[in-house]
């Protein structure tokens, strides 16, 4: 459908955006970023420019070109962006990479102190990602407590445990985060947004499952000291696929598929 629309109007912003979503699902990587760059070069002031650059950054992360993802975030996404920038940075951190410039914490704190910061669950979730990318553990705990006491079920039942899991991750408590996210199940649609925006929850679970299963018990997902994670892109999705460590002699694993990632849980 997107291709047909582009044939009728090659400068259609909604059509190129729809194609970016389709290519995210197919994990086309460099082919998608090249298409976006070419389309934007013909109209650099397109209304969709920043959002398309975000799509390109996600493709770059999936393809392992982390420097390109950081470049796009730093040069194309507004410094006050509290949606796409935190989402990009959190994905970089999940991959064990240094983030781009983080969103301004004071700005996030101000938004959370205002009614608008809690008007829609997906917006509040994005603010939580901004806090996580900046390792603001105390603010995440505060957000989780407030969400847990909110009368709206999506806040109390979904956002609260997700925010608390993010708080645990910022302190290296991968096992606690695993417990929260696995108990949550998969009600990700209740967090709002579209699939490409929601799947970051499952990607986070994949990361902490791997960290919690390490023999030393020492997490590698830390927003204060990012490390290079053993993560490779899939061929069918922009979500990273965790490549598990080789099993120790006599050790057995059970594979658990969740969304675009497959987790291997150690069996006793």
Which range among 66-80, 210-224, 254-268 has the greatest average pLDDT? 66-80
Q: How many CA atoms lie within 13 A of 219 on its CB side?
A: 28
Full-prediction pTM beyond 0.85? no
| Strands 231-233, 261-267: pairing kind | unpaired
C-alpha separations of 145 from 75, 79, 81, 92, 186 in Å:
35, 28, 25, 27, 21
pLDDT digits (tens, 9 = 90+) for 15-34: 988 888 888 877 777 888 99
Positive/negative CA dihedral, 121, 127, 129, 131: negative
Which range among 83-87, 101-105, 211-215 has the greatest average pLDDT? 83-87
Confidence of residue 176 (pLDDT cuts 50, 70, 90): very high
Counted residue by residue, the chain has a size of 268
Which pLDDT does position 189 carry in this prediction? 82
Contacts of 24 (CB under 8 A, 6+ apart): 32, 55, 58, 59, 196, 237, 238
- The answer, yes or no, to whether residue 258 has pLDDT greater than 80, is no
Nearest to 239 by CA among 29, 75, 17: 29
CA angle 78, 61, 12 (to 5 degrees): 60
Phi, psi of 68 (to 5 degrees): -65, -40
Contacts of 242 (CB under 8 A, 6+ apart): 206, 207, 209, 210, 229, 230, 231, 261, 262, 263
Instruction: Supply the DSSP symbol for 225.
Output: S
pLDDT digits (tens, 9 = 90+) for 228-245: 333 333 333 333 333 333
Which pLDDT does position 268 carry in this prediction? 37
> Residue 103 is encoded by which pair of tokens?
């969103």
Residue 40: strand, helix, or coil: helix
Nearest to 103 by CA among 156, 67, 139, 68: 139
C-alpha separations of 265 from 56, 74, 117, 186 in Å:
32, 37, 37, 18
């Amino acid at each position: 459908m997107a291709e047909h629309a582009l044939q009728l109007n090659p400068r259609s912003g909604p059509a190129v955006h729809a194609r970016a979503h389709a290519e995210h699902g197919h994990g086309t990587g460099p082919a998608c970023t090249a298409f976006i760059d070419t389309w934007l070069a013909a109209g650099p002031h397109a209304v969709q420019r920043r959002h398309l650059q975000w799509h390109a950054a996600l493709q770059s992360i999936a393809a392992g070109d982390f420097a390109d993802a950081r470049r796009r975030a730093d040069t194309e996404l507004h410094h006050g962006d509290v949606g796409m920038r935190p989402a990009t940075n959190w994905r970089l951190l999940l991959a064990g990479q240094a983030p781009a410039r983080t969103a301004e914490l004071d700005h996030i704190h101000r938004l959370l102190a205002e009614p608008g910061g809690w008007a829609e669950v997906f917006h509040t979730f994005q603010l939580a990602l901004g806090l996580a990318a900046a390792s603001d553990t105390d603010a995440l705990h505060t957000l989780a407590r407030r969400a847990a006491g909110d009368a709206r079920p999506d806040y109390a039942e979904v956002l609260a445990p997700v925010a608390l899991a993010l708080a645990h991750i910022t302190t290296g408590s991968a096992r606690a985060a695993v417990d929260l996210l696995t108990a949550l199940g998969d009600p990700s649609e209740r967090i709002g947004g579209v699939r490409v925006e929601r799947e970051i929850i499952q990607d986070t679970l994949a990361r902490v499952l791997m960290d919690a299963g390490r023999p030393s018990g020492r997490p590698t997902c830390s927003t204060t000291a990012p490390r290079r994670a053993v993560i490779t892109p899939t061929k069918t999705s922009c979500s990273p696929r965790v490549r598990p460590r080789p099993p120790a002699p006599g050790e057995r694993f059970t594979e658990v598929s969740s969304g675009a990632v497959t987790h291997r849980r150690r069996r006793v």
